Amino acid sequence: MKHQQLTLMALLSIVLGFVACSRSRVAEPYRSVYHHTPAANWMNDPNGMFYDETTQLWHLYYQHNPFGATWGPMHWGHATSADLLHWQEHPIVLYPDSIGTIFSGSCIIDRENTAGFGENAIVAVYTQSEVCGQHQSIAYSTDGGYTFTKYEGNPVLKGDVPDFRDPKISRDGDHWLMTLACGQEIRFYASENLKDWTYLSSFGEGYGAHGGVWECPELLCFDNTKMSKPEASEQETAEPKWVLLVSINPGGPFGGSATQYFVGDWDGKTFTCIDAPDAQKWLDYGRDNYSTFTFHNAPDNRFVAMGWMSNWQYAQVLPTEPFRSQNTVARDFSLFVDDEGQYRLASVPSVETQALRGQVTEKLSDAAVVELELDGKQDALITLANDKGEKVVMTLDVHRQTFSMDRTASGDCSFSHDFASHTVAPLFIKRDCYHVTLFIDHCSIEAFDKEGAWSMTNLVFPSQPYNHISVEGGKVTIYDIKK
């Protein structure tokens, strides 16, 4: 009966959400134009993302509380997109049960029926959380990911530490590999059938940032086809390198949540980091890109990723309604070597995201793509402003080799003393000319080095859209958004 009540309440919430979405932009000034947002209520981590080549749809599941706009009893919400820009909401696919609420996880397409649920079944592996612990469960879909049946033998892997969660599943040779967050380390498990798991190894002690719990891990293999070559990078490698993504909260470089990564080698059992233990590498140098995952089965063997565009320091009090939270634009990952010979993860807007560019215009609208060409021999200053005097100031500092963004006067910062902030990214590659791309939406700014050497994601809440841009030390091109 309890489950039936939850189901009815969740369905009612979805209906109310769609009604809310029909309101005008005046009622929802911060509803994004081209970022995924839930129809209503709370959302955090993206989950179980995969691409279906038959329907050519991207499937996104996400942590969702259908009963309110703050974190609560977690479900898996569901949305699909043909272009990673326009999203259609679908009914919730996973509900809490006697084992616990539904935390983060991942989906794979089981082409060879290794789990026994049918060829090409979509299998979700996810954390269930209850008062006495966290465990891993599975569910399967035979209709392309729109409905799931939970495995009667759940849980398939029981937790032995309080934080035992966020399984990311990938194929490693002839078996499945689970990358799992456990306290402040990452564990690796192997299985042939997604039901019986064998412990392989752990990584984390003494490496990277440990200011908070480790979450949302993913292990990615980069061979020569996924090695990008920014101007100064000439390195070739015959051996693949592996990147381990690990989100941490708190402990980010500017406070609260952030995603770090480690570069190393994987021998089928153990991850060995090639960087110094105290090295810290960050996926994004803004405040608002967390729990980033890639889509399983992305076209052309690409690593297409999305993150939760928020920060746990203030996520539950953001001034949006009737929804709370959005996801980043889709990004493609590759690996490059910086000026100091260090492997770095490159992040560029995906080809689908770049398709947003419309016609060149002289006027900045409330949603736009901006291309900046900045002189590498002098500092540059970029200011976004509105008629209320609210502004975001970005600086390219050639001497210090940094790009920064100051949102302390960006608009409404009153909801949290942690929100007003100034973020700084190292440039990593010294150039004669820097190209920066800004993706501007109703409540967000995402800045990218054109070749992916750094990215910066920050939320902003201006009382009016920014309608002015000024650039000192460079040139600017503004593009309308294709809606």
For position 5, what pLDDT does the model report? 41
Q: Coil, helix or strand for 299? A: helix
Cα–Cα distances in angstroms (integers) from residue 309 to residues 46, 47, 202, 258, 458, in the given order: 10, 14, 29, 10, 8
Beta strands in 183-320 (DSSP E): 185-191, 198-203, 213-222, 241-249, 258-266, 271-273, 290-294, 304-308
d(CA 449, CA 70): 34
The CATH 2.60.120.560 domain(s) of the chain lie at: 358-481
Nearest 10 degrees: Cα torsion 405, 455, 482, 82: -140
Ramachandran angles phi, psi of 224, nearest 5°: -60, -25
Cα–Cα distances in angstroms (integers) from residue 124 to residues 61, 141, 322, in the given order: 10, 8, 29
Return the structure tokens found at 267.
């021998």
Spacing of C-alpha 114 from chain mean position: 29
For position 236, what pLDDT does the model report? 52
Q: Are 303 and 226 in contact (CB under 8 A)?
A: yes
Q: Which residues are catalytic?
A: 45
Return the structure tokens found at 285.
């140098």
Return the structure tokens found at 457.
């994601």
d(CA 442, CA 465): 7
**358-481 belongs to which CATH class?**
mainly beta
The CATH 2.115.10.20 domain(s) of the chain lie at: 2-349
Return the amino acid letter for 28: E
pLDDT digits 0-9 by tens, 271-327: 999 999 999 999 999 999 999 999 999 999 999 999 999 999 999 999 998 999 999
- How many residues in the chain? 483
For position 226, what pLDDT does the model report? 72
* 2-349 belongs to CATH 3.40.190.10: no
For position 270, what pLDDT does the model report? 98
Buried b (16+ CB within 10 A) or exposed e, 253-281: bbbbbbbbbbbbebeeeebebebeeeebb
Sheet holding 88-94, edge to edge: 88-94, 75-81, 57-65, 41-52, 323-324
d(CA 110, CA 194): 10
Q: Are 350 and 470 in contact (CB under 8 A)?
A: no
What are the counts of helices (DSSP H) followed by strands (DSSP E) for the chain? 2, 33
d(CA 408, CA 460): 9
For position 112, what pLDDT does the model report? 97
Question: pTM to 2 decimals?
Answer: 0.94
Ramachandran angles phi, psi of 352, nearest 5°: -65, -40
The distance in angstroms from the start CA to the end CA of the chain is 44
Q: Are 456 and 423 in contact (CB under 8 A)?
A: yes
Residue numbers in the chain where pLDDT is lower than 50:
1-7, 9-10, 12-25, 232-235
d(CA 249, CA 290): 9
d(CA 1, CA 247): 37
Nearest 10 degrees: Cα torsion 393, 399, 403, 404: -40
Q: Are 28 and 321 in contact (CB under 8 A)?
A: yes
Q: Are 108 and 117 in contact (CB under 8 A)?
A: no
